[in-house]
Each structure stands twice: as structure tokens, then as C-alpha cells.
Structure 1
Amino acid sequence: MKKKLYRSTQNRMLGGVLGGLADYTGIDASLLRILAVVGFILGVGSLGLIYLIWIFIVPNEGDVYR
């Protein structure tokens, strides 16, 4: 079965991007959120911009065909 990246509707804080990424990778969503906040605070690239782009590009969980 092929994995698909989507924005989570159940495990969501803001846009559901990290919740969907956690489901896709198998990493805990809380850990991804902590890493994202730390990266944002430390000024790693343009993490905020990437997150906003992913909100518009990655489909919602219900929109993904399984």
C-alpha cells in the first residue's frame, strides 16, 4: 500500500500539516511540533513560509483517495 501525505483532520493544531506528516513518517506529532517551534525560534531557513505553503498544497485527509 502506498503512503500518501495529507493534512490531518484529527491530529491538528493549526493547519494539520504536522499531524499529517507525523502519520506519513511514523514520528510522534508532538515531537515534530517541538522541532518545528525550535527551528522557527532558531531561525532555520523560512520554516514558517514552508508551513504556509504546505497548508495550501497538501490536501486534507478526506480529500485523499485511498
Structure 2
Amino acid sequence: MSHMDSTTMPPVRSQENATHIIPTDRRISSQILLGDEGRVVIEHKGQHYLLRQTHAGKLILTK
């Protein structure tokens, strides 16, 4: 097993930062993403997910 000190470790994004918007995050309008249908299928690692907007304007992602 090799020894890695803090100077050789890759940066780790903490859970706290994972849920907060940072200036370098990509942005796309939900209207553009969802289109006139209000829904889009997202392919991720061979799986399909449905992102849709509810009548109340919320977003729901389901597998």
C-alpha cells in the first residue's frame, strides 16, 4: 500500500459543498432543459431517469 500525504491527495469536494451552488457550476434554464413538454429523459451510466416539472412548478427526478 502506498503512502499519500496531503500534498499528493486529489481535492475532495465535501458533502456541504456538493449541495451549494458555486460560481463555476454550469447553469442551464429549466425551460430549455425540459422543453415545451416539461420533461426530459436523462441517460446516466446506462440508466434512464425522468426529470419533470409538476403542476406546482417543482422538479422531480425519478428512475
The structure richer in helix per residue is 1
Determine if the TM-score, normalized by the shorter chain, exceeds 0.5.
no
1 or 2 for the larger relative contact order (CA 8 Å, sep ≥6)?
1
Q: TM-score range by the shorter chain?
A: under 0.3
TM-score, with length taken from structure 1: 0.22
User: In terms of Rg, which structure is larger?
Assistant: 2
TM-score, with length taken from structure 2: 0.22
